[in-house]
Amino acid sequence: MAAEIGRDDLQTLLSETSSTDIDDQVTKLAFKNEKSGNVWTALAHIITAVIGSGVLSLAWSMSQLGWIAAPLTMMAFASVTLTSAMFLIECYKSPDPDYGPAINGSYLDAVRTILGKKSAWVCGIIVRINFIKLGIVYTITSSISMRAIQRSNCFHNEGHKAACKYGVTYYMIIFGIIQALVSQIPDFRNTEWLSVIAAIMSFTYSIIGSALGLAKVIENGEIKGSIGGVPTSTPAKKVWVIAQALGDIAFAFPFSVIFLEIQDTLRSNPPEKVTMKKASIMAVCISSFFYLCCGGLGYAAFGNSTPGNLLTGFGFYEPYWLIDFANACVVLHLVGGYQVFSQPLFAITERWITKKFPNCRTLHEDYIPKPIPGLRLNLLRLCFRTTYVAFTTGFAILFPYFNQVVGVAGAINFWPVVVYFPVEMYLVQKNIGPRTKKSIILRIYCFVTLLVILYAFVGSIKGLITARLS
């Protein structure tokens, strides 16, 4: 998941933010430069945002669900994501979806304009949680990929049956130190290059994982797996691992938070909603096909022994250099991805603090160390951002369980961001009454998806606690 933020967006957002409405604000994510975009640029932005580290757990998720339920579940999440996109397309302009005149250039703008400030306040909190959860997931994923590089070289040198056991905490601390340093970059205008690197890296390791899975299937001479998925000792255990698998799949799909930012880059002829509809359908089809290939090839290669993380679970040993390269791509992607999703949170929080203490010079002034004239340090940045990185790193050290944390992260805000707010805005935009047939159907849709996501969330939390206590 990567996003690219325009040079002027953060300044615009902050200029509109006062100390009284700060909690209604959240950063305007990416893709908002000159409005010259077309269906292909929109498609590229969506694909770049969607395909990321979530792909690494899809093979495991498929192994828990089996050959019938897994593809159907992925298609169901793809359908929900596409439905959300179709609703959000109608929310770009308001009060009239076709003529405006108001333009909602971000998800939060749309929620505030259409549903009001209270809904925007809640939405802002949810989006902030999204940023924090990604920081934690990226810390865990990067650290186990760094450890996997060391293990891969150990297996290559000492044989596949060697112990090669290494702790992950050391690598989490290394990743945290790197992020604490990179986080001192003042603002997003200096981090656009991170998005480019992150996008390239995510495609690289995803394709390598799929290729290794295909090679393993050819080597085995058979397609492994079963209709019911991995058997468990008790039916109850199966119920909970299925819930966790649903959370992992939910983590891989959504792009709702950045959807309107992408639409805001499109030229107005043809109308933005026409272009965005085409791009959304193409993006969901491509990403779904890509996910089915990645998850399906991994499951077909390993069957019931499918690892939780396709690149670090050591179903693959050779070619070790390719596995090392893929894991290095994961680390590079997530170093950039961490900043892409943390810098907006840094900016909005620091703006609030400086407005609270306008006369405190130490919070406002930058210091340039003499030995490094290009470096700009700020006491507020140094303290707050380092504390934030320490928090995400500490949480990751406390719960270093990839599949369980990804499951919780996928389920924690999927329903409000992907289902609830888009549906509510669509009902208002289209002036659909509460007792109409369409309204009732959409309410049922919201309720059913809520039950599924609650099931995934509870199951993922249980898996996280069980992993911690075991």
Enclosing domain of residue 263? 9-469
So what's the pLDDT on residue 187? 61
- Residues 6 or more apart whose Cβ sits within 8 Å of residue 108: 24, 25, 26, 28, 120, 123, 124, 127
Rounded mean pLDDT, 379-391: 91
- Residues 6 or more apart whose Cβ sits within 8 Å of residue 92: 103, 104, 110, 260, 263, 264, 272, 273, 276
User: Is a pLDDT exceeding 80 seen at residue 233?
Assistant: yes
* Residue 2 belongs to a domain: no
Which percentage of the chain shows pLDDT scores above 70? 87
266 vs 199, residue with greater confidence: 266
* Residue 1 belongs to a domain: no
CA–chain centroid gap for 419, Å, is: 16
- Residues 6 or more apart whose Cβ sits within 8 Å of residue 53: 1, 137, 138, 141, 202, 330, 333, 334, 337
Number of domains in the chain: 1
* Residue 4 belongs to a domain: no
14 vs 73, residue with greater confidence: 73
User: Is a pLDDT exceeding 50 seen at residue 24?
Assistant: no
* Residue 22 belongs to a domain: yes
Rounded mean pLDDT, 65-85: 95
Rounded mean pLDDT, 176-188: 82
Q: CA triplet 177, 182, 183: central angle to 5 degrees?
A: 95
* Residue 3 belongs to a domain: no
* Residue 289 belongs to a domain: yes
* Residue 63 belongs to a domain: yes
So what's the pLDDT on residue 52? 77
* Residue 255 belongs to a domain: yes
CATH at 42: 1.20.1740
* Closest to 251 measured CA to CA, from 15, 460, 41: 460
So what's the pLDDT on residue 23? 40
